[in-house]
Amino acid sequence: MACSIPDCERKVHGRGWCFLHYRRWFDHGDPLVTLKPRGKSPFMRTVESTAWDCMMARCYNPKNASYQYYGGRGIKVCDRWHTFANFLADVGLRPEDKHSLDRINNDGNYELGNVRWATHTEQMRNCRNNRIFTFGNTALCLIEWAEVSGTPVATIHTRLQRGWEPVDAVFGR
């Protein structure tokens, strides 16, 4: 029996498709998806598909080491992104090797408008445990205020530990 995909004469492996089309469906949710391979093998996983797999596991697999920080807190993946092809169409390819998947609002779900490719530095400034201070209409984390004010991070941190008001700790008033 031949694959049910038009013009494919390979032997059926599963679901009426040959191994190639079955793997495309299994990995990407679509037996006809064609991704530009990043290596020598057309079966090689892409960094985007690995990021998608990890995102899904963090949110839906209780055995995943990070599940408690994602799925355990109620973080979900939007229904559209349960298919890799839709995720890739919305998020796009990773711009550079130094980027990885990041949620802009850490308490929000993985969904369009709340996910980006970010550098390690950008992600570290977007952690739940960062202390955010707002002066005027500007809200920044401690390290960003240190950069703005020119005051060393350690100095600001020590001043805060000693009970200084945040504006005084940052600007040394």
Do 53 and 103 lie in one domain? The reply is: yes
Task: Specify if 12 maps to a domain.
Answer: yes
Q: Which long-range contacts (CB under 8 A, 24 or more apart) does 77-81 make?
A: 77/109, 77/110, 77/111, 78/109, 78/110, 78/111, 78/112, 80/112, 81/52, 81/110, 81/111
**pLDDT per residue over 62-87, tens digit each?**
999 999 999 999 999 999 999 988 99
Q: How many residues does the chain have?
A: 173
Do 68 and 119 lie in one domain? The reply is: yes
Do 116 and 49 lie in one domain? The reply is: yes
Do 23 and 53 lie in one domain? The reply is: no
Give SS3 for 99.
strand
Give the residue numbers spanning the domain of 24: 1-34
Task: Specify if 39 maps to a domain.
Answer: no
**pLDDT per residue over 108-158, tens digit each?**
999 999 999 999 888 888 887 778 888 888 888 888 888 888 999 899 889
Q: Which residues pair with 115 in a beta bridge?
A: 103
Task: Specify if 21 maps to a domain.
Answer: yes
Task: Specify if 113 maps to a domain.
Answer: yes
- Give the pLDDT score at 38: 54
Task: Specify if 63 maps to a domain.
Answer: yes
Do 136 and 119 lie in one domain? The reply is: no
Task: Specify if 70 maps to a domain.
Answer: yes
